[in-house]
Amino acid sequence: MSNPFEDADARYRVLVNDEAQYSLWPTAVAVPDGWTVVHDDDTRAACLEYVEEHWTDMRPASLVRAEHG
């Protein structure tokens, strides 16, 4: 059995947590608690493109709030 997180031909979604951290997630694997789907059922390449466009600040949201707070 291959790793579903590395299958270039699988369908993926993009998840985000409350710290504004993104994750590429196979559609065949249940979404874990604490994560929200922000881009659903697409190719791996399209999901990676979405992450690159939207995750522009790698710092956790709580750190960003503390610095600007």
Domains in the chain: ranges and CATH: 11-68 (3.90.820.10)
Query: What does the pLDDT look like over 2-60, one tens digit per residue?
Result: 788 888 899 999 999 999 999 999 999 999 999 999 999 999 999 999 999 999 988 88
**Which two three-digit tokens encode residue 56?**
């522009």
Q: CB neighbours of 38 closer than 8 A, spacing ≥ 6?
A: 14, 15, 16, 22, 50, 54
The count of residues in the chain is: 69
pTM for the full predicted model: 0.87
Tokens 């881009």, located at residue? 39
The number of C-alpha atoms within 13 Å of 5 and in the hemisphere containing its C-beta is 5
Distance CA 21, CA 35 (A): 9
